[in-house]
Amino acid sequence: MQFTDLGLSAELLRAIGEQGYTTPTPVQQQAIPHILAGRDLEALAQTGTGKTAAFVLPILQRLTHPLIGQTHNQPDTPLQKITHTAPRVLVLVPTRELAAQVLESVRTYGAHTGLRSLAVFGGVGINPQIQTLRRGIDILVATPGRLLDHLSQRTVDLSKVQTLILDEADRMLDMGFIRDIRRVIERLPKVRQNLMFSATFAPEVRELAHTVLKNPATVEVARRNAPAELVSHSVIKVDKEQKRDLLLHLFAAHGWHQVLVFCRTKHGADALTRKLEQSGVRSAALHGNKSQNARTRALADFKSGKLAALVATDIAARGLDIDSLPRVVNFELPNVPEDYVHRIGRTGRAGASGEALSLVSSDERIQLRDIERLLKLDIASTVLPGFEPQHNHSVPRPSAGRPPAHKPAQARTRSGTGDRSGAPRPPRPARSGTGGAKPASHHSGQRHR
Ligand code: AMP
Summarize pLDDT for 131-168 with one digit per residue, the tens.
Answer: 999 999 999 999 999 999 999 999 999 999 999 999 99
| Domain 231-415, CATH among 3.40.50.150, 3.30.70.150, 3.40.50.300, 3.90.1150.10 | 3.40.50.300
Query: Ligand 1 centre and the CA of 338: distance in Å?
Result: 22
- DSSP annotation of 145 reads H
Is residue 53 lining ligand 1, measured as CB closer than 6 Å? yes
Q: How far is CA 5 from CA 15, 38, 43, 53, in A?
A: 16, 18, 21, 16
Is residue 48 lining ligand 1, measured as CB closer than 6 Å? yes
Dist CA 6 CA 375 (whole Å) = 34
Q: How far is CA 367 from CA 164, 266, 371, 380, in A?
A: 36, 19, 6, 15
Banded model confidence at residue 106, pLDDT cuts 50, 70, 90: very high
Banded model confidence at residue 408, pLDDT cuts 50, 70, 90: very low
Percent of the chain at pLDDT > 70 equals: 78
pLDDT higher at 128 or 315: 128
Which helix (H) or strand (E) segment holds residue 278: the answer is helix 266-278
Q: Which CATH class, in words, describes the domain spanning 3-220?
A: alpha beta
Dist CA 132 CA 137 (whole Å) = 7
Is residue 321 lining ligand 1, measured as CB closer than 6 Å? yes
Dist CA 202 CA 198 (whole Å) = 9
Is residue 25 lining ligand 1, measured as CB closer than 6 Å? yes
Ligand 1: which atom is nearest the Cα of residue 319? 4
- pLDDT, one tens digit per residue, over 108-138 is 999 999 999 999 999 999 999 999 999 999 9
Is residue 225 lining ligand 1, measured as CB closer than 6 Å? no
pLDDT higher at 201 or 333: 333
Domain with CATH 3.40.50.300 in the chain: 3-220, 231-415
- pLDDT, one tens digit per residue, over 268-300 is 999 999 999 999 999 999 887 888 788 888 888
Banded model confidence at residue 83, pLDDT cuts 50, 70, 90: low
Dist CA 372 CA 427 (whole Å) = 17
Dist CA 141 CA 15 (whole Å) = 20
Residue 350: pLDDT above 90? no
Dist CA 409 CA 393 (whole Å) = 6
Is residue 242 lining ligand 1, measured as CB closer than 6 Å? no
pLDDT higher at 40 or 286: 40
Q: Pick the residue whose CA is nearest to atom 23 on ligand 1.
A: 50
Closest C-alpha among 178, 424, 123 to residue 294: 123
- pLDDT, one tens digit per residue, over 234-246 is 999 999 999 999 9
Least confident of 49-58, 247-256, 439-448: 439-448
Q: How many CB atoms lie within 10 A of CB 161?
A: 21
Mean pLDDT across the chain? 82
Amino acid at 148: L
Banded model confidence at residue 381, pLDDT cuts 50, 70, 90: very high
Least confident of 352-356, 362-366, 398-402: 398-402
